[in-house]
Amino acid sequence: MNARNRFLLAIVVLALLMTGPFWLTAAVLFGDLRPEEKAILSEVLLPRLPIGAFITAIGFLIGVGVLRNLFRQYVQGLLGMAEKLRLMHSANRSFRVEMAGPPEVRQLADAANQLAQQRDDLLTDVDAKIAQARASVEEEKNRLAALVADLPQPVIVCNLDGRILLYNNRARLQARALVPDVHASSALIGLGRSIHSVFEPSLISHALETLQHRLDREGSQPVAHFVTTTRAGQLIRVQMVPVLAVTADTERSIGGYVLTLENISRYVEADAACDHSVQKLANESRSALAGIRRALAGLDADSPAAAKIAQEVALLTTRVDEAANEYAESVKARWPLEEMLGTDLMSAIQRRIEIKTRLTAKVDTVPADLWVKVDSYSLVQAMVFLATRLADDYDVRLIRLSMANIGAMVAVDMRWTGTSISTELLIGWQLEPMNLGGEASPLTLRDVTDRHGGELTCGRESAAQQSRFRLLIPVAIGVEASEVPLVQVESRPEFYDFDLFSRRDESHALDERPLRELAYTAFDTETTGLDPSNGDEIIQIGAVRILNGRLLRHECIDQLIDPQRSIKPEGIPIHGITPDMVVGRPTIATVLPQFHRFCEETVLLAHNAAFDMRFLELKEAATGIRFTQPLLDTLLLSTVIHPNQEAHTLEAIAERLGIPIIGRHNALGDAIVTGEVFLRMIPLLEAMGLNTLRQVREAAEATYYARIKY
């Protein structure tokens, strides 16, 4: 019901309230009177009825006027305020409700305006923080782009769809080598363009499969290499590394990739020219030596001179052959091949065959520790080509793959049940371009075998009644995946901090610097006992850096120390350090200078720092090392923040601040907890008006615990 109808309804109700009681009273009275009483009452009232009606009408009109005024002020006024609030909420943030109407409505309007102002202040603050964050991200991105731009290698960053997100000037210049037409090269590399216009999609897909397969293997290095030829005939070596995406289930997945390019054409051409010269020299030398041998045949074989010449010629021939063979081996080693685990290669071959053909591929035996040196893309392409010919020409439906080490080579076998392939037919296949599913390749099987310095043969195994292709490829002395572990951490290591670019020379006193701007070294020690003045020594130092409000867990020290004295038995169950663990470790004279350099230009941070500092002070005379940096103690800071709490142990403080404790009574573990505690304390100190180092130190020094001495 709209406001007008409600107003009309209110008028009707007012009319009924004003006239209804009169008519109801008259009806009750007339119904109870005798006829003669009714006649007398009619004679009295009827002449005066117009006056009563007039007075009632006047009262009704006055009531309508009052009702209309109240309705306009409270109903229509509130409806108008609602419209203005919606306007203020959406279209015009700066609009404010007019202070009009009765006092109650004006109070409501004032409260609404105050809430709107608070909302605007919050939104302005949020917008400012968003703008600041965007500016910081943009600045960081620009710095990254500047760093990439200065790299000597071409670098291209792409998303999973192959769209180019970032590239440097070297990559743009490298594009000129990718196509024959120099004017068309600018269309290849550009933001938002597809990398598939530069490299074949199948090549990128194969490299991504290799990366994902290595990510799935614990400890494998997620990097892929391939070498390809461009439309301009250039040879490009490409390295691909993944950009890992963050997922809720903590599994590593690829969100994009980074390509680094290297044009190796000139190196290969130089090598080819060198190969030609060496081969020419070898052939000419052999020809000359053959001519000398023919000339010797006409001389007296029994003469000492002829025998000597024949001996030298034979020796020279042997040396030429050996040098030619050694050079041939070095040529094979120069090809840009990649070392990879044999199981990875066979898995890639199996997946690609089943994707590209109607065949079912089964992998039989592959030694777990066998490494090969291959161009994985061209080799997989060659095996898929062979499988395709078997499926199309001989209706083979199942093939079995295996790999075995044969001396300096590795045999990759493809077996099937059915007709064997003749050597003549295989030679014909080796000279054909490998076209797979409409994807043209400039390479042939012969190119692949030559590139690997290998050999492709065919045959039949009578015992198993199976035919076979055998491809020989080079073996590689690989490194087990378990020996090359990736850094496994709970969170992203902080190996950089772009905010350091904005740091100024810290020549002025640190005391006036805000807490958030300072660098800290949180540290802890474990000792042989609790009495430094009576000969107890440090047996472990742990330290970690704090910079720009972040705990840099991977910039740390965790060092056991030989105290050159016994460890008190009562302390061993607490810190877990036994005498045999410290024997042969560096002494404090060696470790303390390293720790001092680690702490340079930082504020020292410890829990119950007086205890740790007493051990360090007692070593000043022997080592000449003095720690003059400012010092903060989380025990004292806890008494400043929570003066009414009874417990100020590191465990109690961490529990109050919601920090999990890991590795308690281990020096590095306690240092990390101390650093986390301090980071949680900073906003609490700022809320108390303690913003600078000087203010915090003065507040801490005024506490009771600051008087404790060791």
* Residues labelled catalytic: 665
User: Does residue 344 sit in helix, strand or coil?
Assistant: helix
Structure tokens at 507: 């020549």
Structure tokens at 686: 């700022």
Distances (CA, A) of 596 to 69, 524, 546: 83, 14, 16
Residue type, 702: A
Contacts of 368 (CB under 8 A, 6+ apart): 343
DSSP state of 365: -
- The residue among 353, 405, 409, 410 whose CA lies nearest residue 382 is 353
What DSSP string describes 90-117?
Answer: TT-TT------SSHHHHHHHHHHHHHHH
Asked whether 218 and 124 are in contact (CB, 8 A), the reply is: no
- The alpha-carbon radius of gyration of the chain (Å, integer) is 45
Asked whether 575 and 526 are in contact (CB, 8 A), the reply is: yes
Cα–Cα dist 427/27, whole Å: 124
- Strand locations in 436-570, DSSP E? 455-461, 466-476, 520-527, 538-547, 550-560
DSSP H or E stretch at residue 85: helix 77-89
DSSP H or E stretch at residue 573: helix 572-575
- The residue among 352, 159, 185 whose CA lies nearest residue 259 is 159
User: Left, alpha or beta for 194 (phi > 0: left; psi -120 to 50: alpha)?
Assistant: beta
Cα–Cα dist 121/479, whole Å: 60
What DSSP string describes 408-453?
Answer: TEEEEEEEESSPPPPHHHHHHHHTSB--BTTB--S-BHHHHHHHHT
